[in-house]
Amino acid sequence: MDGGTSEIDGAIIAIRETWPLQLVVEAPGGRHDVALSEDTALTRAGTPVGSGALEVGAVVRVVGRLSAPHAMVASRVDILS
């Protein structure tokens, strides 16, 4: 399943201040490590936002490419709440 596109909804439970920035998202299927790139689109209610808008506890929808089971590189992160 490596390389496939996936979408998950869940809560951010950790933010790793690395490059690239990484999130740990708790979703119904378990925890996912999510890497952001400089091309990752970040939005809240359809409005572009910066990475500073990401915070622990926020509910997000992540769309991206699977890099391993429960790991992905995000092409888009939508902050839902």
Query: What CA–CA distance (Å, rounded) separates 27 from 16?
Result: 17
Position 20 pLDDT exceeds 80: yes
CATH number of the domain within which 16 lies: 2.40.50.140
Q: What is the pLDDT of residue 1?
A: 42
Give the total number of structural domains in the chain: 1
30-66 pLDDT tens trace: 999 999 999 999 999 999 999 999 999 999 999 999 9
Residue 23 near residue 34, CB atoms below 8 Å: yes
Average pLDDT value for the chain: 94
pTM: 0.90
Residue range(s) defining the domain that contains residue 36: 5-79
